[in-house]
Structure 1
Amino acid sequence: MRLTVLGCSGSVNGPGAPCSGYLLQADGHDPVLVDCGHGVFGELLQHANPSKVAVLLSHLHADHCLDLPAMLVWRRWAPAKATERSMLCGPPGTALRIGAAASEYPGEIDDITDTYDVHEWADRRVVTVNGLIVEPFKVCHPPATFGLRITGPEGEVFVYSGDTGYHDVVVELAHKADLFLCEASWTHDPAVRPPDMHLSGVEAGDLAMRARVRSLAITHIVPWVEAEAILDEASGVYKGPLQLVHQGQVIEIRPPFSTDTPAAGVEYTV
């Protein structure tokens, strides 16, 4: 599988820094977009035809889903508009949330089912999309939020934490993942870290160690926090391959039986 980071800013976007959006693609299949926060759609246009992209939403906070109405406009009105529906998977209420944002009139809901075949996540109920096997795990974050365990055609495992507080379910979610893309929104300082909402660098590193992941990638750092401080926290706990993701980065996720590299994620930037 190939992962392209379209955006990774936590909670809000910044100058040239879109919110959460990750393009995942298995060879020979159409791509899948994991989350679609502010600024992500414009980045997507550089990498894929929006009319061919399935969408997986971890949850319905604005920084993870509210660039999706832009994709609706594209799919409906661009010269090469979509001729078939694509899959859209998300928490309960996804069609209402996106339909309300896309509606032209206050209090009305745009019917998005002309464009998307909408499926709602259920905890641990597997969905297959564009060559990928997706298992959602309900994690600790308001509102209903799902981490995603995604297995590729060669058995490679990519896990996305979504937004989550520290909880044992994340260890189950990420167990022996080849690449664990894990949020760490702030440092472990209790003065700036509300409970049961996001992870610190310490917590992300600890969960990765407990889950025995092959490679850890940190994402969703809020713009007002020093990213290197979070990376230092994580590296003090997790002793495997570790990185901060950045916009435009591409990571090849390789299966566990690969012999040409000791690390699961080989990255380059486009």
Structure 2
Amino acid sequence: MEMTILGCSGSLAGPGNAASGYLLRMSDGEKILMDIGPGALARLQVHDAPGDVHMVFSHLHPDHCLDFPSLLVWQRYHPTDAATRRHTLLGPAITPVHLGRASADTLEDVDDFTDIFDMVPWNAPRGDAVVFPSPEYVGHRIGAARLYAAPAVHPTESYLIRVEDADGSSLVYSGDTAATDHLAALAAGADVLLCEATWGERDNGNNPPQMHMSGEEAGQAAAAAGVGTLILTHIPPWGDPEGALRGARRYFDGPVELAAPDMVVTPGR
């Protein structure tokens, strides 16, 4: 597995940095796009052909999904790189209506994008505890890859995502979430934890509750999960990336890096 960061700015795109978008190239040649915020599609065109990507959504806040209607245009109508097959779309159950309205022609319409994507809602455990792996934990397949989700803590239907490749590599993406034990459980033993650190070094107590994580909380989750590498992402243009690093390193003694546009990560190597 190889991940290219298309954009990692939190809450909105920043100067020279698209909002959330992460391209995964799997060992069997399949390509999976995790989130597609404003500016991510433009960066995808630099790195790969948008006509042949599967789509995975952590949640549907604008900074994680607003380039999707344009991806539909590309895959339907591009003269040389239109989609030649239906790709898989994994996401919240609200996706067909929410994004169908975003790409429709009138307020009353919902664009049916099943000509391009096979929409599959996340199969995630419910309840207070997440135990991973377990016989009851059912994942999803895209090619040879296996994907798993767990509920995040965020105002809209949101998920933590684990991707395991046939080559044995693994990556966990927090999406947007407040601190939750689900994250360490899903990330157990993963090669890479790509974790948001919106609040910088620590939560100052004045931020909206049940929304995001700090660098300290990301470090705590990484340590509890025993991951190989922690990569901090989703820091807004006005945020404190160096503070996020300090906070994470206070609790996690493994490698900690800041996500950056065009950064390439190879989990397990």
TM-score of the two chains, using structure 1 as the length reference: 0.91
* 1:221-255 residue CA offsets vs partner (Å, 9 max, x unmatched): 0111121111111111111011001000001112x
Compare 118-127 and 199-208 and name the one that shifted more.
Answer: 118-127
- Secondary structure of the residue that 1:243 maps to in structure 2? strand
1:60 maps to 60
State the distance in 1 between where 2:203 and 2:89 align: 37
* 1:71-92 residue CA offsets vs partner (Å, 9 max, x unmatched): 1011111102222211111011
1:97 maps to 98
Q: Is 1:145 aligned with 2:163? A: no
* 1:47-99 residue CA offsets vs partner (Å, 9 max, x unmatched): 22222100000011111111010110111111022222111110111111111
1:205 maps to 219
Q: In structure 1, what residue type is equivalent to 2:167?
A: E
2:236 maps to 222
1:108 maps to 109
State the distance in 2 between where 1:144 and 1:243 align: 28
2:254 maps to 240
2:36 maps to 36
Shift of 1:27: 2.5
* 1:122-147 residue CA offsets vs partner (Å, 9 max, x unmatched): 21531010321101111111211111
Identity of aligned residues (%): 39
Q: In structure 1, what residue type is equivalent to 2:221?
A: L
2:133 maps to none
1:119 maps to 120
State the distance in 2 between where 1:189 and 1:21 align: 25
Conserved 8 A contact 2:203-2:213: no
- Secondary structure of the residue that 1:193 maps to in structure 2? coil
Conserved 8 A contact 2:14-2:236: no
1:177 maps to 190
State the distance in 2 between where 1:136 and 1:102 align: 26
Shift of 1:38: 0.8
* 1:175-208 residue CA offsets vs partner (Å, 9 max, x unmatched): 1110000111013142443222100111111111
State the distance in 2 between where 1:161 and 1:169 align: 10
Conserved 8 A contact 2:101-2:110: yes
Q: In structure 2, what residue type is equivalent to 1:129?
A: I
Conserved 8 A contact 2:11-2:234: yes
Q: In structure 1, what residue type is equivalent to 2:42?
A: G
- Secondary structure of the residue that 1:149 maps to in structure 2? strand
State the distance in 2 between where 1:131 and 1:51 align: 20
- Secondary structure of the residue that 2:232 maps to in structure 1? strand
Shift of 1:155: 1.5
Q: In structure 1, what residue type is equivalent to 2:176?
A: D
- Secondary structure of the residue that 1:118 maps to in structure 2? strand
Q: Report the number of matched residues.
A: 255
TM-score of the two chains, using structure 2 as the length reference: 0.92
Conserved 8 A contact 1:90-1:119: yes
Q: In structure 2, what residue type is equivalent to 1:204?
A: A
Q: In structure 1, what residue type is equivalent to 2:260?
A: H
Conserved 8 A contact 1:32-1:130: no
Q: In structure 2, what residue type is equivalent to 1:41?
A: L
2:204 maps to 190
